[in-house]
Amino acid sequence: MFANRKIENIEQEVMEAVSKARKQQPFLNAMVSFMEVDEAISEAKNSNGKMAGLPIVLKDNVLTKGVRTTGSVQILDNYIGAYDATITRKLKEAGAVIIGKSALDGLGMGGTGTNCHTGFVHNPYDLNRMAGGSSVGSAVLVASGAVAFAIGSDTGDSVRKPASFVGIVGVKPTYGRISRYGIIPYASSLDHVGYFTRSVEDAALALEVLAGRDDKDMTSSYREVENYLANLNGDLKGKKIGILSNVIDSIKSEKTLNLFNELIEKCVNAGATVQKITMDPIRLQTCLPVYYIIANSEATANHSNLDGVRFGMQEWGDSLEELMTHSRTKGFSFLLRKRFVIGSYSLADENQDLLFRKAQKVRRILVEDYKAALADIDVLIAPASGDVAPLLTDTSADQLSARYLIAENHMVLGNFSGYPSMTIPMGKIDGLPIGVNITAKPFEEQGMFDVALGMENLTGCKNMTAEVNV
């Protein structure tokens, strides 16, 4: 835990983090690149910031000036950032020491950590299992104990699902709470900057560092940044907690349900009021197709500049069209190319009304339903996944979501709506962690953190790390 802790020997702490990440790399494959830290250590020694001396990792879609940022795609493999992302600057100003960039599913697309251009990323609790995605490397490095904080991004559940699979805290704040300037995008209306910690207290402090208005991101909010850590209160007495019953009804794992029900019972005993909330089940089943249409359409538009001419690696051809085709074919994985085809098809003139615009309308209906579900409660909760992390051999990048439409896709409602949402560990099943997801109304991160702290106190699942035998 780094909240309320002064790091006495910054150089030692940073070098231990670097050493641990390097030793774990052959087993976890969580890092894309390591950064030079000498200058950052010197600056951290003179810092009074809230993260002074804290070694951290950035997802490799976050720009760092003069440092390679790949987005985990071959076409950007040698891209060097011309400027720092706003969050990179803020973290440096807070005294954090960035030790490297972490692996992700290419351009944030994929939820398994198996679509990274550097290879599969492994779960530190069981190297034969996946750790979710797309912010997989950051999640794994926090869970393995290499670092206590890492940046991710969340477009569907890319922070919150990995957090569940590796037993840590994953936060996606309200849309606009954190600037996205300098983040390689996936889908602009769904993208959120998120992050990982091993405790709710650390999560509260981190948002104080990251949040705030940024004129370089016109979607960022003017709202004042609150003192989340100082105001943190884990007393659940009087809290109104809603259970999204559609998710519960769709989960087949008795062990997951038993663990969740134990948590609910503890919350009731702590003074919380708990009620079931039911959303229209047919509408909920549209979450995945609506997400794919909107996200892939926006991704197609966002990455049309990666053509081998203006950006990225270049594969020669006999014509400009052939050059671009060869560059994009070699530069993107099959999964990304497939998603670009979906996006292009959805945006075609003859298909826009039937697909893209209709998906936007359904998204609005789902958001209104979600707003109504949260109207009379403080938070809405459900298991973050139907079960523990699957084996790497049991899943493909899109298979899990398609098989369990509600249990594995409900967290995308947080991206459709922009509402703050986080996952914390609720326990282990046969030695493997699984999390509970907590969602609140817009800009009510404080209330979300309060409930999360109360639950963390009840479960005792705090500062969990996996032992990786290196």
Helix (H) or strand (E) holding 141: helix 136-143
pLDDT category at 314 given cuts 50, 70, 90 is confident
| Cβ-based burial of 310 (10 A; exposed 0-12, middle 13-18, buried ≥19) | exposed
pLDDT value at 16 more than 60: yes
Residue 398's pLDDT is 58
The model's pLDDT over 200-230, given as tens digits with 9 standing for 90+, comes to 999 999 999 999 999 999 999 999 999 999 9
Active site (catalytic) residues: 59, 134, 158
pLDDT at residue 162 tops 70: yes
Looking at the domain assignment, is residue 71 inside a domain? yes
Domain count, the chain: 1
What mean pLDDT is predicted for residues 225-248?
A: 98
**Residue of 138, 109, 133, 135 whose CA lies nearest to 332:** 109
Assigned token pair, 147: 């670092």
For the residues 266-292, what does the mean pLDDT come to?
97
Tell whether the model's pLDDT for residue 357 goes beyond 90. yes
Angle at 228 between CA 223 and CA 230, to 5 degrees: 130
Looking at the predicted structure, is the pLDDT value of residue 397 above 70? Answer: no
Distances (CA, A) of 165 to 244, 353, 430: 20, 38, 13
pLDDT digit string, tens, across residues 58-115? 999 999 999 999 999 999 998 999 999 999 999 999 999 999 999 999 999 988 999 9
Q: 430: pLDDT confidence band, cut at 50, 70 and 90? A: very high
| Structure tokens that stand for 253 in this block | 């794992």
Q: What is the CATH number of the domain that holds 50?
A: 3.90.1300.10
Percent of the chain residues topping a pLDDT of 90: 88
The one-letter amino acid at 83: Y
CB–CB of 234/453 below 8 Å?
yes
pLDDT > 70 fraction of the chain, expressed in percent and rounded = 98
Per the domain annotation, does 440 fall within a domain?
no
Record the pTM: 0.97
Average pLDDT of the segment spanning 169-191? 99
Give the pLDDT confidence score for residue 110 in this predicted structure. 87
Residue 137 lies in a domain: yes
- 259 residue type, one letter: L
**Is the pLDDT score of 275 beyond 60?**
yes
Q: Domain for residue 88, yes or no?
A: yes
Residues sharing a CB contact under 8 Å with residue 154, sequence separation 6 or more, in sequence order: 135, 160, 170, 172, 191, 192, 193, 194, 414, 415
Average pLDDT, the chain: 96
Q: Which helix (H) or strand (E) holds 365?
A: helix 356-374
- Does residue 445 lie in a domain region? no
Give the start-end residues of each E strand in 92-215.
Answer: 97-102, 150-154, 169-172, 192-197
What are the CA-CA distances from residue 48 to residues 14, 70, 114 (Å)? Answer: 17, 32, 39
* 80: in domain: yes
pLDDT at 293: 98
H-type helices in 29-133, by residue range?
Answer: 38-45, 86-93
Cα–Cα distance measured from residue 173 to residue 211, given in angstroms and rounded to the nearest whole number: 9
What's the pLDDT score for residue 403? 63
CB 219 within 8 A of CB 418: no
- For 269, the 3-state DSSP assignment is helix
- Does 402 score more than 70 pLDDT? no
The reply to whether 335 falls in a domain is no
CA torsion sign for 367, 372, 374, 380 is: negative
What pLDDT is stored for residue 265 in this prediction? 99
The pLDDT tens digits for 433-452 are 999 999 999 999 999 999 99
- Indicate the pLDDT class of residue 418, thresholds 50, 70 and 90: very high
Q: Is the pLDDT of residue 325 over 90?
A: no
Domain housing 195: 10-233+453-459
448 inside domain: no
**Could you tell me which residues come within 8 angstroms of residue 31 by beta carbon, excluding any fewer than 6 positions away?**
21, 25, 57, 100, 101, 102, 103, 137, 141
pLDDT of residue 85: 99
